[in-house]
Amino acid sequence: MKKYVIAVCLALVSMACGGPRYVDYFPYHDDGRPKPKVAVVALKDACQSNINWEFSEELAQGLYCDLMEGGQLYVLSQGDVEAPNGKRAQYDFTTIDAAFATDFCEADFVAVLELIDHAVVPYDPCTKTEVSNPKGKSCLQAILTNVRVKVVDVRCSTPRIVLCEVIKSLYPLDVGVRVDSIGGMPWGSGAYYKTPCGMAHYRAIKEISHRLEDVIQCSR
C-alpha cells in the first residue's frame, strides 16, 4: 500500500506541475494524421459532498492534462468550450437529445460529465466493492465518486451518442483516517495531491480518461 501511495503521489505531482509534453499540444500525430478533437464539458456538481470546491473544475482540468498527455486525442481548451456561440446557458445536457453538440463546431466529439455522487462508504477489501449493508461485517471505508458521462460524436450532420453511462470509482481509505477530514485540504494547494481526497480524485479522473479515450478511438 505504501509503494502504491508513493507512486500515485509522484504521478499527481507530475500531472499538476508538468502537464502534457509540448508535442502533445499539436492536433496531429507525428505521421500527420489528425487527432480527434474533443470538447470536455464538466457540469456543475449535482450532489452534496464534503468538499468545499466544485469537483467539475478539478475534473475538467485533470481530464485536459491526462488526455493531452496520452497523445491520442486533442482536447480543446476550456476557453473554447465555455460558451460556443454564447449559447451554453441554454443547453440541457442531461436529455437524450444530442442536438446541442452541433454548436461545438470545432470538436469531433463532445464529452459531457456530471458528478452525481461523492461520499465515504463502507468498503469490502476482499471484493473491492461498496458494501450496501455493512451491519455485522468487518469493513473499511472508501471514497466513492460517481460521474455521469455522455459522449457525442458530432462529425456527421446528425449528432450520435456513443457513450452514456455512470463511471464509478472507489478509493479505499487507510485505517484511522478521519472521515470529517476528507476535503479539508482544498484542491489547488500544494499538499492536496498527497491527501486521500486528492488521490481518490486522481484515480477517478484516470478511469474516466481511459474510458473516454477507448470509446473515442473505437468510434473513429
pLDDT tens, residue by residue, 24-78: 678 999 899 999 999 999 888 888 887 888 898 999 999 999 999 999 999 998 7
- Encode pLDDT of 84-129 as tens digits: 555 555 566 667 778 788 788 889 999 999 999 999 999 988 888 9
163-204 tens-digit pLDDT: 999 999 999 998 888 776 777 788 988 889 889 999 999 999
Mean pLDDT of the chain: 82
pLDDT at 86: 54
Rounded mean pLDDT, 144-160: 92
What pLDDT score was predicted for residue 75? 95
Bridging pattern class, strands 74-75 and 37-42 = parallel
Number of H helices, E strands in the chain: 4, 6
Cell (9 digits) for 80? 473554447
Q: How many CB atoms lie within 10 A of CB 11?
A: 15
CA distance 159 to 101: 7
The pLDDT of residue 144? 95
Q: What is the CATH number of domain 2-173+183-218?
A: 3.40.50.10610
Residue 134 neighbours by CB distance under 10 Å: 14
List the domain boundaries for the chain. 2-173+183-218
